[in-house]
Amino acid sequence: MSKTTDAIRSYAGNPDAIVEAGEVVDMRFQSGGALSLRAAKLFHLLIQAAGVSITDDAQHKLSFASLNDVFHLSIEELEGLIDELHSTVLKLRLVDANGRKFTKSGPILSDMEREDDSQLQAELRFEFSNALRQAIQNSSHWAVVSRKAVMAFEGKYSLRLYTMLSLRAGLRKASEEFLLEDLRMILGVPDGAYPRWNNFRQFVLSPAMQEVNQLAGLVVGFTPLKHGRKVVGVRLTWGIKAKQDRIEALKELEQPKVGRKARREGQVEMIAHAEKIERHEMALALAKLQ
């Protein structure tokens, strides 16, 4: 059976590929905890920087210059994100050698050192926690995400949705049902935020879906699942885009962020308008048959 570490090694020569263990992709956050968008992006960059040695009990290095090439941060901002990665506790759902499921909790980083940025070729040195390293070491399923896409997302829920769907698309699945509370935990929605389904759909799920559909090589949709009149879950559906649509997504990643939201909203309006026309034409056709 192939392991996540084998996949990391095979993609090592691709600068746009970030390989992440499925257990890490599906991480839950402790009650009330979540990563900000910028901290989540930094987490992805640190995973890529560690590369094939990510499971080693070792210190990894990343220069400020390489960070600022794609992630323009002041030293104060960087320190804030480092503190966030230090303090955020993850819940990882794992399976032991005997097939018994268990949940392992731990921080993302165990240690971080930052050189004075006035020094030539100043570095950021970091170590992943034992909990994270063990999860990756034993992992046999993974997601391959695009670094360009990761850095392009403007919503933290969009980025989380993209990574979890990239994992599932790699497993050749096309749909999955989630309890509403579990989906909230995976996306990192804070406790008490958007408690009603309509608010969760409007401010979390729909915007995330629209941004993934614009920037990723996937197309995603959802159907609410009800118990009586109450929405208790969501069925997510997804598929790989057609070749031309994937090309358009790649073009969007190369464009400036300015105007991206307007282009995305324009696409949504066009789809809604097309569906309205289709429903109208269907109604006319049915009327003629009566």
Q: Is the dihedral angle over the CA atoms 162, 68, 29, 54 positive or is it negative?
A: positive
Higher-pLDDT residue of 281, 128: 128
Is residue 263 very low, low, confident or very high in pLDDT (cuts 50, 70, 90)? Answer: confident
Model confidence over 147-206: pLDDT tens digits? 999 999 999 999 999 999 999 998 888 999 999 999 998 999 988 899 999 999 999 999
Are 128 and 53 in contact by the 8 Å Cβ rule? The answer is: no
For tokens 């997504």, name the residue. Answer: 249
Packing angle, helices 243-254 and 206-215, rounded to 10: 100
**Domain range list for the chain:** 1-152
Does CATH place domain 1-152 in 1.10.10?
yes
- Percent of the chain beyond pLDDT 70? 89
Q: What's residue 274's pLDDT?
A: 43
Return d(Cα 149, Cα 215) in angstroms, integer: 6
Which phi and psi (to 5°) does residue 270 adopt? -65, -40
Q: Which two tokens stand for residue 278?
A: 């289709």
Closest CA to 145 of 169, 129, 177, 126: 169
Are 130 and 106 in contact by the 8 Å Cβ rule? The answer is: yes
Packing angle, helices 156-170 and 206-215, rounded to 10: 60
Question: CB count, 10 Å around CB of 137?
Answer: 14
